[in-house]
Amino acid sequence: MAEILESIEDWQAGRSVTECNKFMFLNEISCDVTFLLGLKKEPVKAHKYILISRSTVFQSIFCGSIDSDSNNTIPVSDIQTDTFKTLLMFLYCEQANISSANVKSILYAAKKYAVKGLVDRCLSFLESSMNTDNVCNILEQVHLYDGKNLEAKCINYIHENAVVVLKSSSFINLCPSCIEQIVKADEMVVQERFVFESVIRWGQEECKRRNLTVTDENLRSALGQILFHIRFPLLDSVYFTNAISTRELLNVNEIIAIFQYFNGRAQPSNWKFNTSRRRGYSLNSVLRYSLISMDESQRVKIGGKDSIKFSCSENILLHGVTVYGSLEESADYDTRLEITSDKDKVQLASNFTSVSTTRSQHIYEVMLLEPLPLSLGKQYIVEVEMNGPATKLGYDGKSDVTVDGVNFRFMNVKDCQTTIDRGQIPGLLYTIVDSKQKS
């Protein structure tokens, strides 16, 4: 007997308990259970003792809560071999090679067999690898597996980076529940027009998933309550008139109610729409003029283009500009806003809208269709063309203005009636790009 023992390699020597467990698993020493993995039923052997000590599910399988007279061979058709081996390796020695390619399947296996440590490791991996390209995929995974903490972080990330995420191909593949969570929240940093167009894009894909023809009637059905989380009253009235009121997404009574809201009528008792600006969409404003002139004679010319050049000391998202309103009791302006790069004169963004003004209110917002990223130190030109009667003017302007730690430097544009000292375009509307987005 002694001679037999001496002839066997002493593999236990110098190894810890964990290392011995790993060695026995990898070399299939004294295994007492075989799992048949996937549709091909590939065999993987293991030790009941280890599995029972690490998982309540395996304890139920092997200790009688789940009745099985043949629990020495167990088919597992819904998990592939590599994934199951990763699960077992974690049970044996707390090791798991997790990657973006396998995290979803490992998370599924870990949840199935109640291996919380591996679930947490998968969720940590997903959180650390989150970006605008994959955040929707991560949200869908953690939504399915009840990862509430990470789910909330995904939603917050999407709200902060909505301009990019809502454009992504993965956004249209989210489930209705996830879409509703995103759209109904106040914290989203994006204009409502962009929300509407993104939701419609998702709805079109949802119709296809349901084998429905993409019509307004089917879109309304596919969207369900999601449609009423879009804040239609916050849309530009011209855009609503041209792009939405002519469609059948909303019924006649809903369209009439929104037009009445645009015209100042009180909301009816059955009002369905949210009129609150999303809290996440709280804009910073930089104002460069100290005083306002109500004297029409000071206007160099009525109408025409107004431009100002500027740079900023931080990366920002430019959402729009402010303009002065009418000198008359009321007036409407067909207004074009354009942002260009001063260095190469490339147009970066533009929008055409209608601005209704009164003499009593001085300043109005003119928004871009979506926030425009601007880089610190670079020079940009804002050009506004307002077709209508003479407007008020600002004067006693400043070339340098600092707001919330961001310094804006304004410069004249050659041959333009608006200057640093006096003119139109009194302010810029922006949000600061946070450090995560910078990187």
Within a domain: residue 136?
no
Question: Looking at per-residue confidence, does 5 or 423 come out higher?
Answer: 423
Within a domain: residue 234?
yes
Q: What is the pLDDT of residue 179?
A: 96
Average pLDDT over residues 50-79: 83
Question: Is 2's pLDDT higher than 50?
Answer: no
Question: Is 6's pLDDT higher than 70?
Answer: no
CATH number, domain of 89, equals 3.30.710.10
Co-location of 248 and 342 in the same domain: no
Within a domain: residue 247?
yes
Co-location of 312 and 432 in the same domain: yes
Question: Is 304's pLDDT higher than 80?
Answer: no
Q: What is the pLDDT of residue 402?
A: 93
Co-location of 225 and 298 in the same domain: no
Question: Is 1's pLDDT higher than 50?
Answer: no
Tokens of 44: 């993987």
Answer yes or no: are the C-beta atoms of 52 and 114 closer than 8 Å. no
Question: Is 355's pLDDT higher than 70?
Answer: yes
Secondary structure class of 147 (helix, strand, coil)? coil
Average pLDDT over residues 388-404: 91
Answer yes or no: are the C-beta atoms of 136 and 173 closer than 8 Å. yes
Within a domain: residue 302?
yes
Within a domain: residue 424?
yes
Co-location of 304 and 233 in the same domain: no
Question: Looking at per-residue confidence, does 56 or 270 come out higher?
Answer: 56
Co-location of 207 and 171 in the same domain: yes
Co-location of 359 and 405 in the same domain: yes
Within a domain: residue 432?
yes
- SS3 assignment for 263-298: CCCCCCCCCCCCCCCCHHHCCEEEECEEEEECCHHH
Co-location of 113 and 232 in the same domain: no
Average pLDDT over residues 285-291: 92
CATH number, domain of 416, equals 2.60.120.820
Domain count for the chain: 3
Spacing of C-alpha 184 from chain mean position: 13
Of the candidates 374, 386, 380, 352, the residue with the CA atom closest to the CA atom of residue 430: 374
Average pLDDT over residues 371-399: 92
Q: What is the pLDDT of residue 93?
A: 93
- The chain-wide mean pLDDT, for the chain, equals 88
Residues 337-361 as b/e (b if ≥16 CB within 10 A, e otherwise) read: bbbbeeeeeeeebebebebebeeee
Give the domain extent around 369.
Answer: 283-438
End-to-end CA distance of the chain: 67
CA distance 89 to 152: 30
Co-location of 234 and 352 in the same domain: no
CA distance 378 to 37: 58
Within a domain: residue 116?
yes
CATH number, domain of 203, equals 1.25.40.420
Helix 103-112 and helix 135-144, axial crossing angle in degrees, nearest 10? 10
Question: Is 144's pLDDT higher than 80?
Answer: no
Give the pLDDT confidence of 337-347 residue by residue, as tens digits: 999 999 889 99
Question: Is 8's pLDDT higher than 60?
Answer: no
Cβ contacts of residue 92 below 8 Å, gap of 6+? 18, 21, 22, 25, 50
Confidence grade of residue 297 (pLDDT, cut at 50, 70, 90)? low
Of the candidates 165, 155, 223, 216, the residue with the CA atom closest to the CA atom of residue 190: 165
Co-location of 123 and 205 in the same domain: no
Q: Tell me what percent of the residues of the chain surpass a pLDDT of 90.
A: 60
Co-location of 255 and 291 in the same domain: no
Co-location of 86 and 121 in the same domain: yes
Question: Looking at per-residue confidence, does 311 or 356 come out higher?
Answer: 311
Average pLDDT over residues 82-86: 96
Question: Is 224's pLDDT higher than 90?
Answer: yes
Pairing assessment for the beta strands 33-37 and 73-76 based on DSSP bridges:
parallel
Within a domain: residue 66?
yes
Confidence grade of residue 225 (pLDDT, cut at 50, 70, 90)? very high
CA distance 156 to 154: 5
Q: What angle do CA 131, 340, 233 make, to 5 degrees?
A: 65
Among 262, 295, 313, residue at a domain's last position: 262
Tokens of 5: 């023992």
Co-location of 30 and 89 in the same domain: yes
